[in-house]
Amino acid sequence: MFGRSRWEFRGLEASATYTGGAVSDGSFTAQDITVSAAALGDYVQASFSADITDLQIDAQVTATDTVTVVFYNQTGGGVTPVGTLYIKCEKR
């Protein structure tokens, strides 16, 4: 066995209320979230507190201390997410 015997999260966490409004079919919306000590190249995961009706969600560090979360809509109709974004950022 290599390294630690169990998985351990050693990173940064943040959350924010989504404020982007409706996402029409075939479009996207983005929201920046402050994550102190986040740096370009860090690994990022995003989740949402509610059903996002098959929207795709992506997140990446776009500047020091900033994670940008993007919702992509390919559902065939408009969707208005209402809830909280959760971010985990692991240092590279």
Give the model confidence (pLDDT) of 36-88 as tens digits: 999 999 999 999 999 988 999 999 999 999 999 999 999 999 999 999 999 99
pTM: 0.86
Tell me the pLDDT tens digit for each residue of 5-35: 555 667 899 999 998 899 999 999 999 999 9
Quote the CA–CA distance of 38 and 88 in Å, as a whole number. Answer: 10
> In this structure, are residues 81 and 50 in contact, taking their beta carbons and an 8 Å threshold?
yes
* Domain map (residue ranges) of the chain: 17-90
Rounded Cα distance, 83 and 39, in Å = 26
